[in-house]
Amino acid sequence: MNLLAKKIFGCEKKLVKTMPDYQWFDINDFACKETGENEISEEFVACLDALRTVCGFPFIITSGYRSPEHSAERDKPSGGGTHTQGIAADIKVSGGAQRYLIQKHAYKMGFTGIGVAKTFIHLDMRETEAMSWSY
């Protein structure tokens, strides 16, 4: 994540032993829908929490962490995608205005993977080259 996003939005990794409190999310919102496992990155959730504040409307997480055994991941090469790394989430959207605001602010805040569909936005913090795509 870029340094500016860390400074402005407080998206830096916190060195704490207990689960942090988020303003808008419960860590269980990100558990794998098929296995119940949850290895979501605390830093990633903190950044989503900051993004939710900036956007000003509720985020419904439709997919967060996915186990490598999740049906959408198990056949992917190299063991799965960013969801299996705990650095991705899909957010339900209900129209173009929400899609636009999430994308606009996510770019500014250092999210590096942004996928746009009619009913959701995929966000991640991949360490490789930043990219966006549509479904």
Range of the domain at 60: 3-11+26-129
Whether residue 18 is contained in a domain is answered as no
Residue of 104 and 7 predicted with greater confidence:
104
Is 129 within 8 Å of 5 (Cβ atoms)? no
Whether residue 100 is contained in a domain is answered as yes
Q: What is the structure's pLDDT at 36?
A: 94
pLDDT digits (tens, 9 = 90+) for 38-47: 999 999 999 9
Phi, psi of 91 (to 5 degrees): -115, 125
Residue 5 has pLDDT above 80, yes or no: no
Q: What is the structure's pLDDT at 63?
A: 96
Q: What is the CATH number of the domain that holds 120?
A: 3.30.1380.10
Q: Exposed, middle or buried: residue 108 (CB in 10 Å: 0-12, 13-18, 19+)? A: middle
Residue 105 has pLDDT above 80, yes or no: yes
Whether residue 16 is contained in a domain is answered as no
pTM of the model: 0.84
Residue 62 has pLDDT above 60, yes or no: yes
Whether residue 135 is contained in a domain is answered as no
Q: Structurally, how many domains does the chain consist of?
A: 1
SS in 3 state form for 5-68?
Answer: HHHHHCCCCCCCCCCCCCCCCCHHHHCCCCCCCCCCCHHHHHHHHHHHHHHCCCCEEEECCCCC
Whether residue 69 is contained in a domain is answered as yes
pLDDT digits (tens, 9 = 90+) for 15-57: 334 557 899 999 999 999 999 999 999 999 999 999 999 999 9
Q: What is the structure's pLDDT at 10?
A: 52
Strand partners, 122: 90, 115
